[in-house]
Amino acid sequence: MEVNHFILALISLSCLFSVSANAPPPLSIAFSLASSELYDMIEVMSESPSPFAFDGTTLKSIDDLLSILPGGVDPALQQICGNTDHPVECIIATMPFLDENAPIEPLSVLKAGIKAMDNQTKNALAEVTKLSMDPTTPKTIVPILQTCIDVYNSILNSDQKSLEAISNHNLVQLSTELGTNVENVLGCDNAFKQAKIESPMKDMDTMLANIISNTLTIGVDMVHF
């Protein structure tokens, strides 16, 4: 993957095609880039552990991200994500899910973050389910993988309740559900740690945990109904 392709993909993040069947429709296109290339870029970004590294370029902060871009990231999104603990992940995760018809403000970024969390969780759930059904997987690990399945289903359930809380303008319920996910996401990795086994879900869980942390910060500190 060339750096130029990565740059074009990030510039075009505002017009990304969906990465799953439930992702939002494509936004207006500012640069011409094949949808398959966009899919591949987001696939890599969503699976890469943090900090992100591309062709020798390590992205630890928004400044690092913007340093390789001539432009293209909305200043409002930069400001909101800059106030989270994981700003690069915030930008990369939320941009494909932003509503092109809504202003970029904490509430719209929060909704995009929850959708990104939902998408990442579904990817993790598919992966851990595949591992649990693989006949070569040691039988001693299968119960741990089942714990992970339960964890991811709990997160998906909380995601829906979070969106319902937003619709109902219920900040208490919203904070509760987002906070619950902070605890939920630790469950899979903790189960493997207790068994003294390296988790095969570690990288995906790291990205998921960062998305969850960001949504909690935005939901609790920035959103006001």
Can you count the helices (H) and strands (E) in the chain? 10, 2
169 and 225 Cβ atoms separated by less than 8 Å: yes
d(CA 208, CA 22): 17
Contacts of 37 (CB under 8 A, 6+ apart): 5, 9
Contacts of 100 (CB under 8 A, 6+ apart): 14, 27, 28
Torsion sign across C-alpha atoms 213, 225, 80, 117: positive
The pLDDT of residue 100:
86
115 or 38, which is more confident = 115
The pLDDT of residue 58:
63
The pLDDT of residue 30:
30
Residues 109-128 have pLDDT tens digits of: 999 999 999 999 999 999 99
Would you call 109 exposed, middle or buried from its count of C-beta atoms within 10 A (0-12, 13-18, 19+)?
buried
The pLDDT of residue 225:
85
Which pTM does this prediction carry? 0.74
Torsion sign across C-alpha atoms 88, 89, 94, 96: positive
What CATH number is given for 62-222 in this structure?
1.20.140.40
Buried/exposed code over 172-191 (b: 16+ C-beta within 10 A; e: otherwise): eebbebbebbeebbebbbeb
Distance of CA 224 to the CA centre of its chain: 23
Angle, vertex CA 95, rays to CA 78 and CA 73, nearest 5:
40
58 or 149, which is more confident = 149
13 and 97 Cβ atoms separated by less than 8 Å: no
The pLDDT of residue 137:
95
225 or 42, which is more confident = 225
Residues 62-87 have pLDDT tens digits of: 566 665 554 567 899 989 999 999 98
For residue 217, name the pLDDT band (cuts at 50, 70, 90).
very high
